[in-house]
Amino acid sequence: MRVSDCRDLALINVLDGFNLQPRVTIPFDGDIDPSSVNSKSAFFVELEDADVDATASQGESGTPRVIGVNQLVWDPTTRVLAVESDEQLRQHTRYAFVTTTDICDSSGTPVGLAEEMTRFRHNLNLGRTDNQVFKKYREKLLNALTALSKLAISEEQVAGLSVFTTQSATAVLEHIRDKIKTATPEPAKFLLGPGGRRTVFSVSSIQTIDWQQQIKANPPTFQTFKPQYPGETTALALLNQYKPGAVGRIAYGSFRSPRYITDEPVMPPVRTRDSVPPVQQVDTLYVNVFLPAGTQPPKGWPVVVFGLGGGDYKEEMPWLYAAAFAHHGVATACINVVGQAFGPLSFVKVKLKDRQMIQFPSGGRGKDLDGDGVIKDNEGVTTVSPAYKTLGARDTIRQQVIDLIQLVRVIEVGVDVDGDGVVDLDPSQISYFGLSFGAGALGHVFMAVEPNVKVGVLASPAGMNSRFDLLRMRPAARGQVGEALAARVPSLLNSPGLTNWGGIPVVGPFFDENIPLRNLPVVTNQVAGAMEIQRYFDEIAWIAASGDGVSYAPLIRKEPLTGMSPKSVLVNFGKGDESAPNPRTTQLLRAGGYADVATFYRNDLAYAEDNTVYKNPHTYVQKWMLPGLSGPIGRGGMEQFAIFLASWGKTILHPEPARFFEVPISPSLPEDFSYIP
């Protein structure tokens, strides 16, 4: 009867453990006093495990590490309490979730352990004595009680106890990375033109660049790219508008990369301890390289790998940044994201000032997944079939990170764009820049797993593509989430729902998930259907964990993966971001320990001074060409990025105008939306 739940459980059942920031539900057989629930009466305990370094699960005093709870909801109708872990849990680690007798019922009497649990703890019931699963679990429960004794919590104080192991988020990517790193790829080729003509052009020789996007598969149909740049300028004009003459050459090339996902896109599940998914095929990927003008360093130019945002393209977005990076001596390399940039027959036509016209593939990676003959914008990024719908963009993210790792390996082998036998990119100075999806998802996963990229900028980090549990926080996406809830079988849409979000009107279908923001008092739920929506959102997060930037954030600086060292990272985001809402960004900041390297752009202050400033600061840096305050503020952020990368992560500039930036962010992280109505 619950068709959608069954499909999602099929995806969950191929995982090797529990969610890394789980929503836990606790059933009671009577009413409780919700105000008695806090991080002292309900919490997670990290347990010593044979598979985990014992010191990692203990604090400085040698006692087990304790993680509290947050975003509490009490549902009096079902007598269920829902809590979320206050921090990101470690992957493939054993935890106990504990409730104590400090939780009281509605009359003030301490709650007690369920009788069934008491019997299970002291003696296995008939029929369970020979069951190794029950025996093993009982053993783990008893071990958890021993760990609690180190926290001065007696058995009599325990009102509820459960033991679980978290899933392995990084294992598959680590195995694939190791395979890539031990192989020697073919060098990148910059011979995409007719008859193998070299596709490397000096900026001064180009008159126009025309990108034709394939929008239909059969017969192939194309449309001319219409730029979305503020100020209605062209990509080519942008290079000379920011810093005239900073970019000397543009090189269009290709390289080969293994694809581990099917067309949908789905990566077949494998054993996480030691297995690698089968390679589906080897793809030809296309890369744009922007080379600085001037004298090239002996080892080649330092290069930043550019991570695109959702719905962005290599023929558009890096053109806004490449001149700033080049002005500080850094080249830019960019590839399209899986499923983005329209169909594979899309092409570029470069018209030179001497009237020559060169046409070559642009590297569109979109697919007609729904079979309607149209290749829509970003069709191919997320799953579409009912069985995999909740999987979303998880495996797209992992595949794109694989492609970025392969690009790094190609740079390490040597990139010679003009065929003169001289390497043009320095393999020892490869950094990363990502915006939005390219920061919150791709950037975090890539920076955590790739060992040879040690410096990165993560701007306006989001990583929300197809994640309905996250998209719900965007006012503009509430309708999309409502449609997804309505499409569930049975429907999860609850009426009347919310018609505005964070003070901004939203479109239907309307729903109300009734999830409190962090650090607020417990919510007593009176919204019918809200608990079911909360459960669905938690299952999305559980399924998405291996492609979620939050899962990888702790591994970049705080606790690097085996054989890796902490990275130098700069995070930059704006107050009241409607596309990457602040509560999502602060989740990344807390998980990664980024507060000391986070720059907070105060868009509220800028808008108060100049109401031509965009209300949504998500891409404020890209407004550097606009009049008013937008221009200097955008340039201030852009220069911070470029100088950080050029200094190899040593210099974090306080952008100008300085009054609009907190560098670093003040101690209290913004946990609300702060949208400008």
- As given in the structure block, the two tokens for residue 605 are 């202050």
Mean pLDDT per 10-residue interval, the chain, length 677 residues: 96 97 96 97 86 50 89 98 97 97 96 85 66 87 93 94 96 98 97 98 96 95 87 82 96 98 96 95 98 97 97 95 98 97 97 97 96 93 95 97 98 97 98 97 98 98 89 97 97 97 97 98 98 98 97 97 97 98 97 97 98 97 96 98 98 98 94 97
The answer as to whether 4 is a domain residue is: no
What is the SS3 assignment for 325? helix
**Looking at 165, 195, 230, which one is the last position of a domain?**
165
Q: Are residues 367 and 479 in the same domain?
A: no
CA–CA gap between residue 156 and residue 460 (Å, rounded): 48
The answer as to whether 1 is a domain residue is: no
The answer as to whether 314 is a domain residue is: yes
Do 599 and 664 contact (CB within 8 A), yes or no? yes
pLDDT of amino acid 465: 80
Strands ordered across the beta sheet of 69-75: 23-27, 80-85, 69-75, 523-524
CA–CA gap between residue 644 and residue 614 (Å, rounded): 26
CA–CA gap between residue 435 and residue 306 (Å, rounded): 9
DSSP 388-448: GGGGTTHHHHHHHHHHHHHHHHHHHH---SSSSS---EEEEEEEEEEETHHHHTHHHHHHH
pLDDT of amino acid 164: 96
Do 582 and 470 contact (CB within 8 A), yes or no? no
Place of tokens 């329209």: 342
Q: Are residues 142 and 193 in the same domain?
A: no
**Looking at 145, 165, 185, which one is the last position of a domain?**
165
Q: Are residues 87 and 47 in the same domain?
A: yes
Nearest to 335 by CA among 405, 436, 415, 416: 405
Do 263 and 388 contact (CB within 8 A), yes or no? no
- The amino acid occupying position 93 is T
The answer as to whether 156 is a domain residue is: yes
Q: Are residues 322 and 385 in the same domain?
A: yes
Q: Are residues 202 and 347 in the same domain?
A: yes
Q: Are residues 369 and 406 in the same domain?
A: yes
- The amino acid occupying position 181 is K
CA–CA gap between residue 508 and residue 358 (Å, rounded): 47
Beta bridge partners of 90: none
Q: Are residues 367 and 488 in the same domain?
A: no
pLDDT of amino acid 356: 96
Range of the domain at 527: 468-546
Cα 343 to Cα 81, 212, 213, 311, 470, distances in angstroms: 48, 10, 7, 14, 28
Q: Are residues 277 and 344 in the same domain?
A: yes
- As given in the structure block, the two tokens for residue 25 are 């539900």
Q: What is the CATH number of the domain that holds 104?
A: 2.60.40.1220
pLDDT of amino acid 119: 80
**Looking at 165, 182, 205, which one is the last position of a domain?**
165
Q: Are residues 355 and 216 in the same domain?
A: yes
DSSP 559-612: SPPTT--PPEEEEEEETT-SSS-HHHHHHHHHHHT-GGGEEEE-HHHHHHH-TT
Q: Are residues 523 and 556 in the same domain?
A: no
Q: What H or E segment, with its residue span, contains residue 360? A: strand 357-361
pLDDT of amino acid 60: 52
As for how many domains the chain has, the answer is 4
Instruction: Find the distance separating the first CA and the last CA of the chain, reported in whole Å.
Output: 42
The answer as to whether 456 is a domain residue is: no
pLDDT of amino acid 54: 45
The answer as to whether 143 is a domain residue is: yes
Strand 357-361 with 281-292, pairing:
unpaired
Q: Are residues 539 and 594 in the same domain?
A: no
Q: Are residues 375 and 352 in the same domain?
A: yes
DSSP 111-148: P---HHHHHHHHSPPTTTTT-HHHHHHHHHHHHHHHHH
- As given in the structure block, the two tokens for residue 470 are 């996250």
The answer as to whether 142 is a domain residue is: yes
pLDDT of amino acid 50: 42
The answer as to whether 642 is a domain residue is: yes
